[in-house]
Chain A
């Protein structure tokens, strides 16, 4: 049993009619911020979907790597939503979102430094204590690299996870994107990760501009991502997997069919037939 899901935007794009047929999805992910509202239409659909499927919460605004104090209003709303829908996981990104009281509304990279690891460990601990549970943090797709980075990204993720106790949400597409942009071997990246801390995998597509690659979530999952996914499953075992699609969204049945491919990858990789 390998729980799989398609991305929130894909499902919302097809809601409510797409969900009336109750497609065979093991769980669904929501973007937390879209439902941190008092009531109305978003909460109505959320409750209707929650009645049919387990949910997972994925945020974009925690700003765990930031150096401003943690945003109490945001955390309070996150916890309220969490208590309301009882998600399987609560996740966000290992990144910076803003500084000095201002928000970029983007997922900006952190330097892979000892200072950043110590800072993150403290902040993640505060969030986990407040929420009363472990959180999952996702690796980014990046387009620049800091001179201050003293170690490769996979070592940084490993140390942050082990020191803070958080789990890792491994975005395989982001590894491919960053590998292309920075020139590292994605298999070396996988080999450097702590298998016991990887809790979820994301798959998506990207846009290839030859000299660089951008994580756009508007394409089918490409062969390179599927191949690295198979490799990840062989290394890490049966990890819950989600396909993200945020633009140019195809019919829901196409995405559900892609999930079937993910399940096949699981089966083949674990049986050794894909090796």
Chain B
């Protein structure tokens, strides 16, 4: 079999319903083809679940041990990764949550995921090339300097548009206290230290 066809067959075999690869494997080894292939299938799923859990620790906690694995399985099945970096695998999770029933009926879930994702992006965003300005520095500005004042935002800044209290829920979870009840109407909750 041509190399590319064999590779496509192996990639397709990550789905448990596609066993065509088994006919291309040596049968008389200590590990038979079927259990051998299962090791790759299990590793594929486990690795992607681990990546999502690393990205979305608080979402996983919010959804709990029943819903979170279901979400992972659904997302992994519908979103094969086009990324070179595993770090990006969860990029599309917030959008998936916004459009996928039944979780899409609870906008705070997608917004919580979006907020966690944005935090991750902040941590490895480009560094600011100029030092930040402390609030106190503004008090020292002469009145005639204000009209010409221009502020440049740090590269890591992101603006999120929210319509629920997803971020307040995130803060509650982060503080390991009971999160507020989900509601519409943007609420950022109480900052935690």
The docked-state distance in angstroms from the alpha carbon of A71 to that of B82 is 11
Q: List chain B residues, Cβ under 8 A from A182.
A: 29-31
Known contacts A106-B43, A180-B30; is-contact A146 B36 (Cβ 8 Å)? no
* B177 interface hit (Cβ, 8 Å): no
* A275 interface hit (Cβ, 8 Å): no
Q: List chain A residues, Cβ under 8 A from B67.
A: none
* Residue among B7, B29, B35, B83 facing the most chain A CB atoms (10 A cut-off): B7
Contact across chains for B25 and A103 when beta carbons are under 8 A apart: no
* B62 interface hit (Cβ, 8 Å): no
* Residue among B11, B33, B51 facing the most chain A CB atoms (10 A cut-off): B11
Q: List chain A residues, Cβ under 8 A from B84.
A: 33, 61, 71, 73-74, 103
* Residue among A33, A143, A147 facing the most chain B CB atoms (10 A cut-off): A143
Known contacts A42-B124, A104-B14; is-contact A33 B85 (Cβ 8 Å)? yes
* Residue among A41, A67, A71 facing the most chain B CB atoms (10 A cut-off): A67
Contact across chains for A148 and B124 when beta carbons are under 8 A apart: no
The docked-state distance in angstroms from the alpha carbon of A66 to that of B8 is 10
Interface majority SS (helix, strand, loop, mixed), chain B = helix
Q: List chain A residues, Cβ under 8 A from B127.
A: 38-40, 43
* A108 interface hit (Cβ, 8 Å): yes
Please report which residues of chain A, range 95-122, place their CB below 8 angstroms from some CB of chain B when the two chains form the complex.
96, 98-106, 108, 110-111, 113, 115-116, 119
**Residue on A with the closest CB to B89?**
A105
Q: List chain B residues, Cβ under 8 A from A60.
A: 86
* Residue among B37, B85, B89 facing the most chain A CB atoms (10 A cut-off): B85
The docked-state distance in angstroms from the alpha carbon of A116 to that of B3 is 7
The docked-state distance in angstroms from the alpha carbon of A119 to that of B29 is 27
* A2 interface hit (Cβ, 8 Å): no
Interface size on B, residues (CB 8 A): 44
Known contacts A144-B40, A181-B29; is-contact A100 B11 (Cβ 8 Å)? yes
Contact across chains for B7 and A33 when beta carbons are under 8 A apart: no
* A84 interface hit (Cβ, 8 Å): no
CB distance from B149 to the nearest CB of A (A): 26
* A130 interface hit (Cβ, 8 Å): no
Known contacts A100-B11, A108-B10; is-contact A33 B87 (Cβ 8 Å)? yes
**Residue on B with the closest CB to A66?**
B7
Contact across chains for A111 and B39 when beta carbons are under 8 A apart: no
Beta-carbon contacts of A110-148 to B below 8 Å, as 1s and 0s?
A: 110101100100000000000000000000000111111
Interchain CB contact (< 8 A) of A99 among B8, B47, B125, B156: B8
**Residue on B with the closest CB to A59?**
B84
* B6 interface hit (Cβ, 8 Å): yes
Contact across chains for B31 and A100 when beta carbons are under 8 A apart: no
Contact across chains for B11 and A40 when beta carbons are under 8 A apart: no
* A37 interface hit (Cβ, 8 Å): yes
CB distance from A153 to the nearest CB of B (A): 12
Contact across chains for A181 and B36 when beta carbons are under 8 A apart: yes
Contact across chains for A39 and B124 when beta carbons are under 8 A apart: yes
Contact across chains for A33 and B31 when beta carbons are under 8 A apart: no
Q: List chain A residues, Cβ under 8 A from B44.
A: 104-106
Contact across chains for A211 and B125 when beta carbons are under 8 A apart: no
Contact across chains for B85 and A99 when beta carbons are under 8 A apart: no
Contact across chains for A39 and B126 when beta carbons are under 8 A apart: yes
Q: List chain A residues, Cβ under 8 A from B126.
A: 38-40
* B123 interface hit (Cβ, 8 Å): yes
* A267 interface hit (Cβ, 8 Å): no
Known contacts A99-B8, A212-B30; is-contact A105 B81 (Cβ 8 Å)? yes
The docked-state distance in angstroms from the alpha carbon of A197 to that of B140 is 65
The docked-state distance in angstroms from the alpha carbon of A222 to that of B84 is 33
Q: List chain A residues, Cβ under 8 A from B48.
A: 105
The docked-state distance in angstroms from the alpha carbon of A74 to that of B84 is 7
Contact across chains for A147 and B8 when beta carbons are under 8 A apart: no
* B158 interface hit (Cβ, 8 Å): no
A selection of 6 A-B contacts at a CB cut-off of 8 Å is A38-B127, A42-B123, A104-B11, A148-B1, A149-B26, A212-B39
What is B's interface to A at a CB cutoff of 8 Å? 1-4, 6-8, 10-11, 14, 24-26, 29-31, 33, 35-37, 39-40, 43-44, 47-48, 51, 80-87, 89, 122-127, 155-156
If A101-B82, A103-B80 are given as contacts, then 10 extra A-B residue pairs at C-beta distance below 8 Å, sorted by A number, are A39-B124, A61-B85, A74-B84, A100-B8, A110-B3, A113-B3, A144-B31, A144-B36, A149-B26, A211-B30
